[in-house]
């Protein structure tokens, strides 16, 4: 049975959709890998938050949509019948990828934001409640930044206490 012009056009159309889906899968997995590396190697404890999870979910959904488009296109070529799901998957994949990139950039900016002085003081006061000495605003003396960290000095009962707090994550690094 000879191929008709319509069959050839259908095959070419869905072959192009397959190629587009391959590119979408490659880009989405690259973005997902990049954000996973950022998450793993940043070393900050506040990285697992809603924007970060949403970014990963959108990148994964982008890959899934591209895979659906890829699979449906291959089926359309094999059966000779057009597939709207192939076109839909191929079109949704880059939209989801773009959303993942936007949310990922927002998450990276939000995770690298330095805490305000008020947030640092509140965190030290809250986390020192279980200690034998209370670090409060009443015994707080000074604050300065050193190597990207906040260094807070307290005077408790005539004894100087120095607390080092990470500026971006708010983790207390040392108490001496």
User: C-alpha distances in angstroms, 33 versus 18, 50, 144?
Assistant: 22, 18, 37
**pLDDT, tens digit, 9 for 90 and up, residues 48-92:** 778 888 888 898 999 999 999 988 998 888 888 888 888 898 899
When pLDDT is cut at 50, 70 and 90, the band that residue 94 belongs to is: very high
Give the separation between CA 176 and CA 160, rounded to whole angstroms.
8
**pLDDT, tens digit, 9 for 90 and up, residues 98-131:** 998 898 888 877 766 677 778 888 888 888 787 7
Mean pLDDT estimate for the chain: 83
């Amino acid at each position: 049975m000879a191929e008709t012009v319509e069959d050839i056009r259908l095959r070419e159309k869905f072959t192009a959709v397959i190629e587009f889906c391959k590119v979408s899968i490659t880009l989405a997995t690259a973005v997902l890998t990049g954000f996973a590396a950022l998450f793993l190697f940043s070393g900050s404890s506040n990285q697992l938050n809603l924007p970060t999870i949403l970014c990963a979910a959108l990148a994964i959904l982008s890959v899934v949509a591209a895979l659906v488009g890829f699979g449906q296109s291959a089926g359309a070529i094999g059966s000779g019948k057009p597939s709207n799901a192939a076109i839909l998957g191929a079109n949704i994949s880059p939209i989801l990828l773009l959303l993942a990139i936007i949310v990922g950039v927002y998450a990276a900016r939000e995770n690298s934001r330095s805490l305000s002085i008020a947030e640092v003081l509140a965190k030290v006061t809250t986390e020192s409640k279980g200690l034998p000495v209370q670090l409060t605003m009443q015994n707080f003396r000074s604050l300065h930044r050193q190597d990207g960290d906040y260094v807070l000095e307290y005077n408790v009962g005539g004894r100087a206490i120095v607390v080092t707090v990470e500026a971006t994550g708010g983790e207390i690094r040392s108490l001496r």
